[in-house]
Structure 1
Amino acid sequence: MSKGNEQVWDKKIQQYHGGQEWKFLKNFVEDFSVTTNGLGAPVSAMEAAKNAVIECTHYPPANQEPAKSSLAKFLWPETWEEDNDRLLLGNGASELIDLIMRLAPKGTWKAGPFAAQYKEYERSATNNGYTIIDGGENDTKANVSCLVNPCNPTGDYMEVDEVLEWILNNVTSGGFAIIDESMQPWHSKDFRNHSLCFHKEKIQRLFSEMSISVYVIHSWTKLWSCTGLRLGSIVCPNTSAAMELKKIQVPWSVNLPALAFLDAATRDVDYLNRTWEVTPKWRKNTVELLNKHFPKWSCHGKEFLSWVWVDTGSTEVATRAVDIAKSAGVPVRSGVHGYKMPTFIRLAVRSEEKFKILLDAWVASGM
């Protein structure tokens, strides 16, 4: 871990996360270590957040409105009024992960079937006294099971019916299924039909027939590139479940600039259309050039994702790639910290011009 990261993270008690390197690089150009939108934040949302600072002498609205309703309209354009009460905003997905793990039935916890996934869920489960069951091919059901879909960092992806089958096979009756769909909206303009939170009747059937409560979590800081603001949401299986979460949530956990940002971002259709247009193109360019210059490397993940998960085939090569990227002012994420996959690196999808800086640094090094 770099000196900069050692200054930021307390390795004894905190879970490592990317996105800290840039502040310690005098030659910083672009952060490839985080999976944020390569377009940067929407201008309209940034302006709204700046304007909201003027009201910082006042408390944020306790009901999170109108931002919460705006997000409900974004998620459920036709049924947002009836579904709004199942939705709760949080100070990033991290706050909501902590809330749901405090409320969930105690006992066992397991991750999804992929080689690695976002570690904050496991950290929270451990802190709340759960017994951790290995995921992967393990068919043992748990009181709480968590699936990150699309999976960060591996890029694995399940369609709705596959997710439902996984829930049935991995969650005990009376248990919780927590599905993280933070990267789901990148899918396409048709992302809602591929999202579990858009299939309310299937979630309700799991609850009525199997007593399984399904919660869908989103971190909105990646899609709208606002990780510094902290914005997350959780869709609960029903209104009463949402009320139980709200009861233990601290008041005003989402500040005024963040609420204003979210309210504006959900209505910026042009920004989303541009995202769905350029991200697959930029990602395709990235993968093709990596394959050309480093044929021994293998690239993983769906074509719509905002990052590429790369197996260099060698711990030494991966370490060198991370060091070279940092020296060039374009840090990437190592697969070592948190994920314990030392031959892998993860790099965000960025414009062809910015990716060229990273690629040129690697090529010039003779890797």
Structure 2
Amino acid sequence: MFPTVWDTKTQQFHAGQDWKHLANFKEDFSVTTNALGTPKGALAAAHEALNHCHHYPPADQEPARTSLARFLWPATPSSSVPEGHARLLIGNGASELIDLITRTAPPGCRWRSGPWDAQYKEYERAAVNIGCELLPPDSTTPADLLCLVNPCNPTGDYMSLDRVQAWISAHAADNATVMVDESMQPWLGRDFRADSLTSAAAFAADLYARRGIRLYVIHSWTKLWSCTGLRLGSVVCPTAEACQQLKRYQVPWSVNGMALAFLDHVARDTAYLEETWRVTAEWRASLVDRLEQLNQRMGGAEWQVWGRAFLSWVWLDVGSEALADAMVDAARAAGTPIRSGRPGYERPTFIRVAVRAPDQVDVLIQAWSGLSAHAQLSS
């Protein structure tokens, strides 16, 4: 059913691999990237940077690092060093940073995810690699390594800033390392920063001063700016010293020149963000309507749609393993692959469908138009 590009003994399954193996590929619904596609100006900047590939990229990650800091903390006067700049580090995707931070935790530490039913698996993979004890999501035991994805991919659950702060305070052990992944949080809208932990420097400082808890706020920028092949992530560290420690462990020049040029440009592209906030909720609502209409035509059990209205995907429980598998297969056959909930997440009745333009959704829905027999069998 799935491509064999993953070494399942050593690697964690992710979506986004099917497209290259499909002769009739039309659109990738398996990844939660921005439906608008890659910003053209930033892509042009990356192309231009390719002309300088015979030079090393800047070891200080500038000017991209400063541009990203001003994106995260725009209230800071442009003439001064942006707030948080000394605590900000760019990585080769969020995955590199997740791995770096996890390696600072002691072997045998107690790890747990957020309270969600399923969560992005890279945090668990990194914890297993250093020998952590894995606590269940509903554990009441304080964790030494606490990892919350908010909004949660794939479930679409979301905690407001005050709830996140209360949850961290209640579930982190003293001297714990806490990672909060806010990769999908900027989709919240124009005021996303006010509900982000990046705006809670005083909270992070207090956690560290009173309880020795180190709070890291992680972003993967490859979804918002649709550049998964470039690998761009960042982390806001609890202190400048903690950022220096990660930099010591980070492989030199891990972020290439094309990615840094892309980031420097896109962090200033406000028009792209405005359009993202305008169309994503509209297209997601349309996608949900189309799925509900399809479910009614199939005549099976009512499907359960998960996720907040502002997000770039739908997490869908179709109530049947056979139907979910059939939908995955039919989508791939039509050149519109989706994400199965079976590998990695171990939710075999679920599928994840990315938000895309309505005309692209037409192709996917058409691929599923003949699956009513599967729904009847599953009822």
Asked if TM exceeds 0.5, the reply is yes
Corresponding residue number in structure 2 for 1:41: 38
1:170-185 aligned at under 5 Å gives the runs: 170-185=171-186
**Hey, what does 1:126 align to over in structure 2?**
128
Query: Residues 105 and 144 of structure 1 are in contact (CA less than 8 Å); yes or no, is this contact kept in structure 2?
Result: no
Matches within 5 A, 1:182-221: 182-221=183-222
Structure 2 gap ranges (5+) = 297-301
Map of 1:262 onto structure 2: 263
Q: In the alignment, does 2:18 pair up with 1:14?
A: no
Q: Confirm or deny: 8 A CA contact 2:69 2:83 kept in the other structure.
A: no
1:320 aligns with 2:326: yes
| Equivalent-residue separation in structure 2 for 1:81 and 1:191 (angstroms) | 18
Partner of 1:358: 364
Deviation at 1:196, TM superposition (A): 0.8
**Alignment: residue pair count:** 363
- Answer yes or no: is the 8 Å Cα contact 2:208–2:214 preserved in 1: yes
Post-superposition, which runs of at least 4 consecutive aligned residues in structure 1 deviate over 4 A?
Answer: none
* Cα displacement string for residues 318-367 of structure 1 (whole angstroms, at most 9, x for unaligned residues): 00010000001000000001000000000000001001110111123435
Counterpart for residue 299 of structure 2: none
Note the residue ranges of structure 1 that are not aligned, 5 or more in a row: none
Q: 1:325 touches 1:358 (CA, 8 Å); kept in 2?
A: yes
Question: In the aligned structure 1, how far is the partner of 2:244 from the partner of 2:257?
Answer: 22
Q: Does 1:303 align with 2:337?
A: no
1:139–1:169 Cα contact (<8 Å) kept = no
Amino acid paired to 2:120: Y
Match of 1:76 among 52, 73, 76: 73
Q: Deviations over 1:54-77 (max 9, x none)?
A: 000000000000000000000001
Amino acid at match of 1:114: W
| Pair 194,82 (structure 1): closer, same or farther in 2 beyond 3 Å | closer
Residue 113 (structure 1) aligns with = 115
Q: Which residue of 1 aligns with 2:151?
A: 150
Offset at 1:78? Answer: 2.3
Secondary structure of the equivalent of 2:305? strand
Task: Indicate the SS of the match to 1:88.
Answer: strand
Q: Matched residue of 2:285: which SS?
A: helix
**Inter-partner Cα distance in structure 2 for 1:331 and 1:313:** 20
- If the length of structure 1 is used for normalisation, what is the TM-score? 0.97
Amino acid at match of 1:60: P
> Could you tell me how far apart the structure 2 residues matched to 1:354 and 1:315 are?
25
1:117-164 C-alpha deviation (Å, 9 max, x unpaired): 0000100000011111111x2211110110000000000000011111
Rounded to whole Å, the distance in 2 between the matches of 1:217 and 1:260 is 20
For 1:326-341, list aligned pairs within 5 A. Answer: 326-341=332-347
Taking the aligned partners of 2:267 and 2:60, their CA distance within structure 1 comes to 18
54, 57, 60: which one aligns with 1:63: 60
CA displacement, residues 66-112 of structure 1 (integer Å, 9 cap, x when unaligned) = 00000000000124624101000000001001100011244111111
CA shift digits 1:157-202 (9 cap, x unpaired): 0001111111112110000110000000111010000111111111
Cα distance in 1 between the residues matched to 2:84 and 2:345: 35
Q: Distance in 2 between matches of 1:146 and 1:108?
A: 11
**TM-score normalised to structure 2 length:** 0.94
Is the 1:105–1:175 Cα contact (8 Å) retained in structure 2? no
1:45 deviation in Å? Answer: 0.4
Q: Is the 8 A contact 2:73 2:83 kept in 1?
A: no
Other structure's SS at 2:170 match: helix
Q: Distance in 1 between matches of 2:228 and 2:141?
A: 35
Q: CA RMSD in A?
A: 1.0
Give the Å deviation of 1:15: 0.4
1:344 aligns with 2:357: no
Determine whether 1:53 maps to 2:59. Answer: no
Identical positions, percent: 54
d(CA) in 2 for partners of 1:112, 1:149 = 9
The answer for the alignment partner of 1:31 in structure 2 is 28
1:236 pairs with 2:237: yes
Q: CA deviation at 1:211?
A: 1.5
Contact 1:291 1:298 in 2 (8 A): no
Q: How many angstroms apart in 2 are the aligned matches of 1:185 and 1:231?
A: 15
Q: Secondary structure at the match of 2:51?
A: helix
Does the CA-based 8 Å contact 1:105-1:176 persist in structure 2?
A: no
Separation of aligned partners in 2, 1:365 and 1:129: 44
User: Partner residue of 1:93?
Assistant: 94
